[in-house]
Chain A
Amino acid sequence: EVQLVQSGAEVKKPGESLKISCKGSGYSFTSNWIGWVRQMPGKGLEWMGIIFPGDSDTRYSPSFQGQVTISADKSISTAYLQWSSLKASDTAMYYCARHLSGHVDYWGQGTLVTVSS
């Protein structure tokens, strides 16, 4: 059974750094693109970017390029999303998602990130 299990909710202050994780199981982690989707409170889905864990090829939405870093550790089947300096506007639910042939077939449960002073 394919599963994507994300790390728990985070509460951070503006300017702090953060790295959240997504562990894949039940499939070949290195052979599938995995990415991140943001959902701000009461808003729609925004595609952030993806990584191919097999060779770390990474693509970002222009809206998120330079704002976040996507990485993966294939030895532990885990993808990451990180910020070097959080802003209040980064407050959102973040979903990891397995991408397959042009669509997302599996989603993580979501990680709620709250940034507040």
Chain B
Amino acid sequence: EIVLTQSPGTLSLSPGERATLSCRASQSVSRSYLAWYQQKPGQAPRLLIYGASSRATGIPDRFSGSGSGTDFTLTISRLEPEDFAVYYCQQYGSSLMYTFGQGTKLEIK
């Protein structure tokens, strides 16, 4: 089973700043099968990025994804107040197994 490790656990930034969130896999992950989600308190998660770098419908272009192999990154170019939330990466592997990372909390500094 592939384990995803996200860092940092908590990221404290101010609106307008750039956020860089990391997701590292214990084995190589196909770029096609790496996704990122945002979750706000009391809400279901929302798909942001799929296929490592494709934005989901309606997601602003300040969100971007990159990476390959075992190292993937979610970048938020200029933080808006509504971007402060918890972010999860997720991979899909063999035998139709999915796993999530443990999450990164993005909080207002």
Measuring CB to CB, which residues of chain A are less than 8 angstroms from any residue of chain B?
Answer: 33, 35, 37, 44-47, 50, 59, 61-62, 95, 99, 101-105, 107-110
A106 CA to B37 CA, complexed, in Å = 11
Measuring CB to CB, which residues of chain B are less than 8 angstroms from any residue of chain A?
Answer: 1, 30, 32-35, 37, 39, 44-47, 50-51, 56, 86, 88, 90-92, 95-103
Do B45 and A95 touch across chains, with their CB atoms under 8 A apart? yes
Chain A residue nearest in CB terms to B88: A45
Do B103 and A104 touch across chains, with their CB atoms under 8 A apart? no
6 contacts between A and B (CB under 8 A): A47-B97, A99-B98, A102-B30, A102-B32, A103-B90, A108-B44
A61 CA to B99 CA, complexed, in Å = 9
Chain A residues, CB < 8 A from B50: 101-103, 105
A33 CA to B90 CA, complexed, in Å = 16
